[in-house]
Chain A
Amino acid sequence: MTRKEIFERLEEVFHDIFDDSGIVLKDTTTAEDIEDWDSLEHINLVVAVEKCFGIKFTMGEVTGMKNVGEMADIIEERVK
C-alpha cells in the first residue's frame, strides 16, 4: 500500500469519526487542527483506524504517536 493510499483511507476514517467530509490530512496534522479531536474521541479514532487496516497498535505506539504522519508511518510498516 502506498503512502498516498494510506492517507486516502485514513481520511475516510476521519470523515466518519468526526462526521466532517471536509477534513484534509497532512503529515503534520494533530488533534489541535481538528475541533472534535479530544482524548475521548481519540480512542474511537484509534479503534476505527485499526479496523480499517486490519492491524492493532501496541500501547507504546498509541502513546507515542505525535501526528498523523507518525500514525501513517506505523501503518506503512505493518501492512508492508
Chain B
Amino acid sequence: MERDAVLLEYPLDSEYILKKRKAIKRQLKSRDMTYIKKKIAVLGGSTTHDMKEILELFLLKHGIEPIFYESEYGQYWQDVMFDSVELSEFCPDVIYIHTSTRNIMDFPTVRNSQEEVAELAEKVYQPFEAMWEKISETYHCPVIQNNFEPPFYRLLGNRDVWDFHGGLNFVNRLNERFYLYAQSHENFYIQDIHYLASCYGLQRWADPFYWHMYKYALAVPAIPELAYNLANLIKSIYGKNKKAFVLDLDNTLWGGIVGDDGPDRIEIGQETSVGQMYSEFQQYVKAHKDLGIMLTIDSKNEEENALAGLNRPDSILKPDDFLVIKANWDSKDQNLLRIAEELNVGVESLVFVDDNPAERHIVSLQIPEAAVPEMEKPERYIEILDRSGFFEVSAFSSDDLRRNQMYQANAARKKQEAGFENYEDYLRSLEMRAEIRTFSPAYMSRISQLTGKSNQFNLTTRRCSLAELEGIAKDSGNITLYGKLEDRFGDNGVVSVVFGHLDSDFPKRFHIDLWLMSCRVLKRNMEFAMMDALVRQCQEKGVNEIFGYYYPTKKNKMVKEFYALQGFEKVSEDDLGNTIWKLDLSAGYEKKNDVIQIEEESVEKQIVLSPVCPE
C-alpha cells in the first residue's frame, strides 16, 4: 500500500500505474477514509476509457470518489448540443471535455488568404464556445476543457509557428481564443495539455500509432500524466489544495550544514553555481507567499544557527517570511504536528520538503496524510514541486494574496490579548467591524472556496460548487449571508458563510443548510453577529422557528454544542450523533453581539451603520 500511494505522486511510474490499475484501486478503496462523491462527465473527441480509469485512482487519493459518465466515442459536442438524456439525467458536478488537435477538421493551406484563415479559425472555434455556453446554461457546473496540443508535424518547418498558414500557428491561435473565454468566464478551466505534451515529449505524446490503432489522441503510456494533472485541477476546484510548505534548511534551502560549516560557509547567493541553484529555489519558494501559501521551517538545528543562515544578506528567504520556525532537535514529525496546530490547518494541507530520505520516511510513516515529495537532487527541486500540482491555482481570491499578512496580524492580536483584564475588553480593543450581507457576486469565489475547504467550524460540511451557490443565492426562498470581518490589525476578508431555506410547507419555519466560519476568527464573537443578522432577516420574513442541524465528521467536533451556545433547544439526536436544534422566536430574540460594529443591508438595501450598543 505504501509503495502504491507513493507511486501516485510525481514523478509518476506510469508503466506500473497502467499495469496495476485494478490492484491499486482495490487498495485505495480499502483505506479508512471519508470520500466526497463527485459526478464527473468525460466528453471526448477520441477514446477516453483509460483516462477515466486512471483519473479515478488519482481522485481517490485526493479523497474524491468519482462517479463517471463517458460520452460515446467522439460524441462530446452532440451530447451537449442535442441534450443527451443520459447526460442530463446524470446531473454532472464537473464536465471534462477532452478534445485534441485530431478534432480540428479544417486546417489552413498555403493557398488561403489571411482573411480566409481568420474565418476558418472562427469556424473551428465557434462550436466550442456554443458548447460551453450551452453547458453553463443547462448544467451550471464547472467545465474543464483542455487546450490543443501542438500538431505532431510542421509542413512549413520553422515557418509553421509564425506564418498564418502554418498548422502550429493555427493551433496557437485557437488556443488564444480558448484563453480569452477562460479569462472572462468563471467556472471554466483550461487544462494545459499543450504544456504537458511538451514536458512529456510531443513526439511520444502524439504517437500516431495510438490514434490509428485505438483512436486515442495521446499515447496510452502518457495517460497517467494527463490524468494526474486533471485530478489536481479537480481537487483544487473542490478546495483540496495544499496550504503550506514545511521546509528543511540544510541542503534543502541552502547547500551545506549551517551548524557545522557556519553561516558564512553555507552555499547560497550568487558566488558559486551551487549557491545560485539554491537561490533560485528560495526564490521559487518565496513566490508562493503571493499565492497565499504559508511558509514554515522544520529543521534539526539550534534555532540561533537556523536564523543566522536565513539572516545572511544574500539569503532570499528571511526569518520574517516564515509563519512558524521550528528549529530544534525534536523529531520532524512531531514538529510538523505542532506546525499544523499553530497554523490551524489539517496535516493533509502540508507539504514536507526535505532532502533527507530518512526524514521523509519517518514523516510519511507517522503522518501519511501529509505530502512528502521525493526531493532527491537540488537541481530537480523546483521541477518536482511544480509538477506535483499541490497548489494548483484554480480560483484566485484577493484573500489569497493577503493570507500571510492576515496570519501575521493574528500573531499580533495574540500578543495583545495577554495585556487585558478580561476577554471582552480585549475584544472591544480590537475595534472590529463586520459586513454581513446577502451573497454578492464580488465574494462568490471566496464563498465557494470556504464551503469547499472549511472542516472544523462547519455544522453540516455541505460542499458547494460556485454554480450551486449562485443558484442558491438567486432563489428567493433562501436566506444567504456572508460575513466579512475587519479589525485594527487588518482585514480578515470573508470569514463566515450561512445559508438556509424557508420550509415550503410551513413558511414560518426556517432551516439552516450551512453554517461555517473560518478558524482564524475563532472566539471573536463573529458567530453571534452572524446569528443576529440571520434572525433579523428571518423576522423580516415572518419566521418564528429556526431549525439548525449538526452532522458530525472527524473534524467538526468543536461545533457539536454550537446551537446550544446560540440558545437553541435540542429536538433530536440519532445513533450517528446527528442532531437537530430549534430556536423559538415567538418570545422575541435578544441580540448576542455587542463587540463588533455591524454594517448590514437595511430593508431598503441601503448600507447603514448600526452603532455598537454597550448594554
| B-binding residues in A (CB < 8 A) | 13, 16-19, 40, 43-44, 47-48, 51, 59, 62-63
Contacts and interface: CB of A to CB of B under 8 A. Distances in A.
A18 B22 contact: yes
Contact of B209 (A18, A40, A48, A59): A59
B212 A44 contact: no
Nearest to A56: B209
Contact of B220 (A17, A47, A59, A62): A47
7 contacts: A16-B19, A16-B20, A17-B19, A19-B26, A40-B47, A43-B216, A44-B21
Contacts, number: 39
Contacts of B22: 16-19
A51 B13 CA distance: 12
A40 B21 CA distance: 14
A47 B212 contact: no
A44 B18 contact: yes
A17 B221 CA distance: 14
Given A40-B50, A59-B212, A51 B15 contact: yes
B35 interface: no
B213 interface: yes
B474 interface: no
B287 interface: no
B4 to A, nearest CB: 13
B18 A48 contact: yes
B396 interface: no
A59 B221 CA distance: 16
Interface of B: 15, 18-23, 26, 47, 49-50, 209, 212-214, 216, 220-221
A62 B213 CA distance: 8
Contacts of B23: 16, 19
A44 B50 contact: yes
Nearest to A47: B220
Contacts of A43: 49-50, 213-214, 216, 220
A34 B221 CA distance: 23
Given A43-B49, A51-B19, 10 more contacts: A13-B19, A16-B22, A17-B22, A19-B22, A43-B213, A43-B216, A44-B220, A51-B221, A59-B212, A62-B213
Nearest to B26: A19
Nearest to B216: A43
Given A16-B23, A19-B26, A40-B50, A47 B209 contact: no
B225 to A, nearest CB: 14
Q: Which 6 A-B pairs have the closest CB atoms?
A: A19-B22, A40-B49, A48-B19, A16-B19, A47-B220, A43-B214
A40 B214 CA distance: 9
Contacts of B216: 43
A64 to B, nearest CB: 12
A13 B384 CA distance: 30
A66 B213 CA distance: 16
Contacts of B50: 40, 43-44
Contacts of A19: 22-23, 26
Contacts of A17: 19, 22
Contacts of A44: 18-19, 21, 50, 220
A44 B216 CA distance: 12
B20 to A, nearest CB: 6
A46 B356 CA distance: 39
Contacts of A63: 213
A47 B18 contact: yes
B101 to A, nearest CB: 21
B46 to A, nearest CB: 12
Contacts of A40: 47, 49-50
A17 B22 CA distance: 7
Nearest to B23: A19
